[in-house]
């Protein structure tokens, strides 16, 4: 069996609410799982179980109290739980992508440039990157009249499609997705299902939160029940 792309082991986290007299909110404990190339795995469990928190820990946005989160980066393995901030930034530029639920809009930058940016950052020729961005936005049915506009005033579903295009345009071996289809209609959900299937075929390992049962059943190979980690917390 090949090496995992992501290996989470013994991860524990308790939120400490300093403004609430130091109240402690344990969220996960002893969380452990592996993710391999070409598979899509959903974090499952009811609202409040800790799915988003776990995804944010893997991305390095939330600190962990205990355990290791090993992400493969070429020949190296980086422990997100202990990596220096600079190493974490480099890891996000090369090995780990994140499609959040909402687009973080960059003022005055057009939708097309927002989408093409990760490829340009990878060193791809600007015209080639823009052509790929146009193709992706067309596939996601974003009206062409919007491409040259900054996405700040776009509808929720339009922003989400720009966000998905930006998150998927470049190759990253590990992809984290937080409800990528929450604001989308059926036709665009089907497009996203197709895009996820293509990533899997390209060997990308995907970890995500998919509340939409139809999307989850279409793309996910297995579900990790986060309540198992919450029970121990």
Ligand X SMILES: Nc1ncnc2c1ncn2[C@@H]1O[C@H](COP(=O)(O)OP(=O)(O)OP(=O)(O)O)[C@@H](O)[C@H]1O
Binding site for ligand X (CB under 6 A): 15, 25, 27, 45, 47-53
Least Å from the CB of residue 211 to ligand X? 7
Is residue 52 within 8 Å of residue 219, measured between CB atoms? Answer: no
Least distance in angstroms from the C-beta of 216 to ligand X: 13
**Shortest distance (Å) from residue 35 CB to ligand X:** 18
> Beta strands 6-17 and 23-35: pairing type?
antiparallel
Q: Side-chain half-sphere of 153: how many Cα atoms within 13 Å?
A: 7
Of 76, 17, 27, 19, the closest CA to residue 47 belongs to 27
Nearest one of 68, 97, 92 to 82, comparing CA atoms: 68
* CB 222, min distance to ligand X, A: 17
Secondary structure (DSSP) of 135-183:
HHHHHTT--GGGTTS-GGGS-HHHHHHHHHHHHHSS--SEEEEESTTTT
Give the separation between CA 215 and CA 185, rounded to whole angstroms.
Answer: 12
- In the numeric block, which tokens belong to residue 17? 């609410």
First to last CA, the chain: 31
| Closest distance to ligand X from the beta carbon of 226 (Å) | 6
Tell me the C-alpha distance between 68 and 33, whole Å.
Answer: 11
Closer to ligand X at the Cβ: 53 or 181? 53
């Amino acid at each position: 069996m090949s090496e995992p792309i992501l290996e989470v082991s013994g991860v524990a986290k308790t939120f400490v609410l300093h403004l609430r007299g130091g109240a402690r909110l344990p969220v996960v404990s002893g969380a452990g799982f592996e993710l391999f190339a070409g598979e899509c795995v959903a974090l499952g469990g009811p609202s409040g179980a800790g799915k988003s928190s776990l995804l944010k820990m893997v991305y390095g946005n939330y600190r962990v109290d205990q355990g290791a989160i090993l992400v493969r980066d070429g020949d190296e393995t980086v422990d997100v739980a202990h990596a220096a901030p600079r190493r974490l930034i480099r890891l996000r530029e090369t090995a780990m992508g994140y499609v959040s639920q909402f687009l973080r809009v960059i003022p005055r930058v057009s939708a097309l440039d927002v989408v093409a940016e990760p490829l340009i950052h990878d060193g791809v020729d600007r015209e080639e990157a823009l052509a790929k961005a146009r193709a992706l936005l067309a596939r996601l049915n974003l009206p062409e009249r919007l491409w040259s506009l900054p996405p700040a005033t776009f509808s929720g579903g339009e922003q989400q499609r720009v966000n998905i295009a930006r998150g998927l345009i470049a190759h990253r071996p590990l992809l984290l997705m937080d409800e990528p289809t929450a604001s989308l209609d059926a036709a665009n959900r089907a497009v996203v299902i197709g895009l996820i299937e293509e990533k899997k075929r390209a060997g990308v390992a995907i970890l995500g939160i998919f509340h939409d049962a139809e999307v989850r059943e279409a793309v996910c190979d297995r579900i990790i029940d986060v309540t198992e980690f919450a029970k121990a917390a």
